[in-house]
Amino acid sequence: MSNAQAPSEVAATHTVVNQPRPLQGHNLYAGDTALREAVTRNGGHGGEDDLQRYGEVCGRPEWIERGFQANHYKPEFEPHDRVGNRIDQVNYHPAYHQLMQLAKSEGLHSSPWTDPKPGAHVVRAAKYYLHSQVESGHCCPITMTFAAVPSINLTPALAKEWLPKITDRGYDPSNRPHTEKAALTIGMGMTEKQGGSDVRANSTTATPLGDGSYELVGHKWFTSAPMCDAFLMLAQTDAGLSCFLVPRWRPDGSKNPIQVQRLKDKAGNVSNASSEIELRGALGWLVGEEGRGVPAIIEMVAATRFDCMIGSSAGQRQATLQAIYHASQRSAFGKTLIDQPLMQNVLADLQLELEGSVAMTMRIAQAMDHLDDERQKLLMRLGTAVGKYWICKRTPHHAYEAMECLGGNGVIENFITARLYRDAPINAIWEGSGNIQALDVLRALTKTPAVITNWYDELEGSTGSHPLYDKAVTNLKDELSKFENIEYRARYVVDQMALTMQSHLLIQGGNSAVAEGFITSRLGTQGISNTGTLPASIDVKSIIGRGNPLLI
């Protein structure tokens, strides 16, 4: 008999050790101290039990896996059926539909409209934040459906017919007329090739047909989620730029000529189909007043920008979560990573960024719950532009730094950090990129001077709490008192508006370690520093503990 080793012994080249198991089966809400505190502080305590429940759902391995599947199997465009009929159908992996069904069943597209109880927007924002950490691409049509409600309400006849189906918690992805369905989703088609964010340059025309409807001819350069049942679109009439609700199918059951030309091949957000479309005499109904298209969509834009804040904050949380968890399970140079001073500096810095993002996002959610209060309304007007600019713009670098904490694993596609990094720039660009947000802030300051007075009044609540904070607020007021080169300086000004507001909110939050760490590192540092350059006085262990999913 041969003395040769058994094949299994020959093949045993190594044993896998010191590699953390996948993070799953955890409660995303229970393990997020910053979120829990912000929910309570901003009036969402009535949703505590529901959020605890949903935090457990979002941590389940089967939902995490569906997030990976929805991104691995990208949407595919099918322009015609097998015999040549134009169908303009986008086919998604079943995981995408399961995620959509979950989002709608939880009311992420409608709950504050259908059940406007105290704290409704705060609770909805917290649930959206938890849900987005599972997978962000499918959240686009959820956001658009949610944000369309105030605009459609401008036209009572449309609202009566459409809103019951828009707010319904069912999900029906079938490619058939809205008249045959009980639950609908809404998209938007605003931008065109020649104008982008400058929608007044739109060339799509809308001609009245005499029966209250219009015929739209033109194109849209970005129309995401093209399988939505209808879209809010801007088009030119004799009275100027106007807003229209354009269904994918006509009421008589024939296909409305909205023709998809192709799907965009995006770097991130790949589970969400984004398309170029042509309108070849498409039927549409006027939303709001003719010639008043921008005012008709302004509340929708504010709501979508707010969801960008939520989504980017969620991305920061998931990235920080993965970094802290990995560091707690991985050893190097004879010590667990989370116990090494330099890694603690990085992890605490990531958590501080998240703390500021969550505090600002949930404060704006509180304002949305109180729009009958003029001060809250003014805060939301500036806050959605400032927050969308700052939080979304900070997220790509934050995602990179968290990814680096995992080393080489961080850039591998079956680690969620790679997807978080690819998705991170999307919210910063969607709904108006950085310059658009900064200019919108200047526009608000010019048109409604009370918004900045109201902003200062909010900041006044923390005056005297920290010398660096007081100095930063004084500097902000000085910057805004000078009109010379204000557009050139707009980004710097909005930076300071965001940082002072976040600092104020963290002071009010009551955790001295977080407030001190944020203010000292964000308001006290001169020059440009990378993540992980916190002053030595910061209580990094306490800050990291607030984000550690294992400390619940």
Residues facing 190 on adjacent strands? none
Residue with structure tokens 């009370």? 450
Q: Are residues 276 and 301 in the same domain?
A: no
Within a domain: residue 260? yes
**pLDDT value for 1:** 47
Q: Are residues 359 and 243 in the same domain?
A: no
**pLDDT value for 526:** 60
Closest alpha carbon to 112 in 123, 104, 103, 101: 123
Q: Are residues 287 and 375 in the same domain?
A: no
Distance CA 293, CA 200 (A): 9
Q: Are residues 364 and 277 in the same domain?
A: no
Region label for 390, one of left (φ > 0), alpha (ψ between -120 and 50) or beta (otherwise)? alpha
CATH code, 501: 1.20.140.10
Per-residue pLDDT reduced to its tens digit, 20-33 = 999 999 999 999 99
Q: Are residues 49 and 175 in the same domain?
A: yes
**pLDDT value for 527:** 58
Residue ending a domain, choose from 261, 291, 321: 291
Residue ending a domain, choose from 244, 266, 291: 291
At 159, phi and psi to the nearest 5?
-60, -45
Domain holding 242, by residue range, is 45-291
Backbone Cα Rg of the chain: 25
Q: Are residues 418 and 523 in the same domain?
A: yes
Closest alpha carbon to 266 in 64, 389, 429: 429
**299 burial type by CB count under 10 A (0-12 exposed, 13-18 middle, 19+ buried):** middle
Within a domain: residue 93? yes
Q: Are residues 509 and 389 in the same domain?
A: yes
The total number of structural domains that make up the chain: 2
Distance CA 175, CA 187 (A): 15
**210 burial type by CB count under 10 A (0-12 exposed, 13-18 middle, 19+ buried):** exposed
- Overall pTM > 0.85: yes
In the chain, which residues have pLDDT < 70? 1-10, 526-528, 552
Within a domain: residue 34? no
Q: Are residues 539 and 516 in the same domain?
A: yes
Residue ending a domain, choose from 291, 315, 339: 291
* Contact status, residue 200 vs residue 234, Cβ threshold 8 Å: no
Within a domain: residue 463? yes
Tokens of 250: 């006509």
Q: Are residues 258 and 353 in the same domain?
A: no
Q: Are residues 405 and 449 in the same domain?
A: yes
Within a domain: residue 502? yes
Q: Are residues 239 and 346 in the same domain?
A: no
Distance CA 17, CA 15 (A): 6
Within a domain: residue 26? no
Q: Are residues 230 and 360 in the same domain?
A: no
Tokens of 350: 């990531």
Within a domain: residue 95? yes
Tokens of 287: 């939303």
CATH code, 78: 2.40.110.20
Within a domain: residue 389? yes
